[in-house]
Amino acid sequence: MRVSHAILIAGLSFLSSIECFGQGTPVSGPAPVAASTPGPSALLQPSLDAVLQAVTAVNLEKWKRGTVRDETGGHITAIEHDLQGNLPPLLQAADANAGTLTKVLPVARNAEALYDVLVSVVEAARVAGPPDQVAQLEQALSGLGTALRSLDDRVQEIAAAQEVETSGLRKTVQTLNAAKVAAAAAPVAVVKPCPAPVPARKPRKKVVPATTPAAAPAKPAS
């Protein structure tokens, strides 16, 4: 059981296209999808607990000796390490951003890898293990496969929602670019500089001529 490889590529292409369209233009990125459906941990955790319980219950001493048993021991150790060390932080990050493809995809890839290793353990158990252990491992494998199909559906929902967001961003960027082109093509009005103001002339002061005293009348000759 695998999350579709095409969906993984589609999700990455949506993210890269968002980045390309946003360059040079102040456009906000896509809003995360509303977490109206269960998050990755709600979809996977019950099956992961069943897997851990199944591999922990494996008693290799009851298996037939040989390379099959030896290889299975390494696979079981890897599964336990993955369940207890790698997946918990990935699930925590995905639950906090349940509508973000970049947070959900790492969980999907890790769970796929875990499924593949568990398939190897189940096949080895059918060859060298006792029936009771085989039955428990097969049941855990079936539960994990069902959970992965649910996670696959969730990834498709997120990818579709981000495709809609990307389409909206594309239209917004195209509108902004068209507005920029139209503004650049519009004739620019030439604004003539205002002439420098002519300084006002100061009025000349009126010069009043000085008055000379009147000459005294001449005395008659005696």
> What CATH number is given to the structural domain containing 105?
1.20.120.230
What pTM was estimated for this model as a whole? 0.63
Would you write out the chain's pLDDT as a tens digit for each of its 222 residues? 555 544 444 454 444 444 444 444 444 444 444 445 678 999 999 999 999 999 999 999 999 999 999 999 999 999 999 999 999 999 999 999 988 889 999 999 999 999 999 999 999 999 999 999 999 999 999 999 999 999 999 999 988 887 776 666 666 676 767 667 766 776 666 666 666 666 666 666 666 665 555 555 555 554
Residue 30 placed within a domain:
yes
**Counted domains in the chain:** 1
Residue 193 placed within a domain:
no
Q: What is the largest CA-CA distance in the chain?
A: 180
Residue 207 placed within a domain:
no
Residue 183 placed within a domain:
no
Residue 221 placed within a domain:
no
Alpha carbons 79 and 207: distance in angstroms, whole number: 115
Residue 96 placed within a domain:
yes
Residue 75 placed within a domain:
yes
Quote the domain boundaries for residue 77: 5-167
Residue 48 placed within a domain:
yes
Contacts of 62 (CB under 8 A, 6+ apart): 129, 130, 133
C-beta separation of 49 from 198 below 8 A: no
Contacts of 37 (CB under 8 A, 6+ apart): 98, 154, 157
Alpha carbons 207 and 31: distance in angstroms, whole number: 86
The one-character DSSP state at 194 is P
Q: What is the pLDDT at residue 164?
A: 75
